[in-house]
Amino acid sequence: MIEMELQQPTSVACGITAASSQAEPLIAYALFRILAPVADLNRVAVANEHRRLGVGRRLLESSHTLLSSLGCIECLLDVRSTNMEALGLYQGLGYVQIGRRSKYYPDGTDALLLRCKFTTNPSVADPVP
């Protein structure tokens, strides 16, 4: 599934390795689809043993900078309404809720649609919704 996503010409993948060398194993990744000026965050994950250390925040901040340089002005994503870890991460980066998809997931959980508008500092939300 991820392999198929990566083959799409609109896909952008960002990752963080355990050390500065790219030969080190990945500890976090984010996968976006870009239809400039809008990016969609399709997947993001940090390896269990590296969570709560600011890795997810650093990854998305760097990703926002990259997306901005590729002509994106905002990033959209869906998140489970029950995923408090992810919601905390996104809200801390300036994502705001712009919609809700009722019972979106097979187990009946709602999806929240979030948006982060990039500014000169692309990880900070624009004050105008």
Q: Which of 16, 31, 34, 44 binds ligand COA (CB under 6 A)?
A: 44
Q: Which of 12, 31, 67, 89 binds ligand COA (CB under 6 A)?
A: 89
Q: For the CB of residue 9, give the shortest distance to ligand COA in the complex, in Å.
A: 23
Query: How far apart are alpha carbons 124 and 76 in whole angstroms?
Result: 14
Query: How far apart are alpha carbons 57 and 45 in whole angstroms?
Result: 11
Bridge partner list, 38:
35, 74
Q: For the CB of residue 4, give the shortest distance to ligand COA in the complex, in Å.
A: 18
Judged by CB under 6 A, the number of residues near ligand COA is 18
Q: Report if residue 57 touches ligand COA, rule: CB under 6 A.
A: yes
Q: CA dist 101 to 40, 112, 114, 120, Å?
A: 16, 6, 11, 30
User: Using CB under 6 A as the criterion, what x/- string covers residues 90-129 for binding ligand COA?
Assistant: --x-------------------------------------
Q: Which of 6, 18, 36, 53 binds ligand COA (CB under 6 A)?
A: 53
- Give me the residues that bind ligand COA (CB under 6 A), please: 44-46, 51-57, 79, 83-86, 88-89, 92
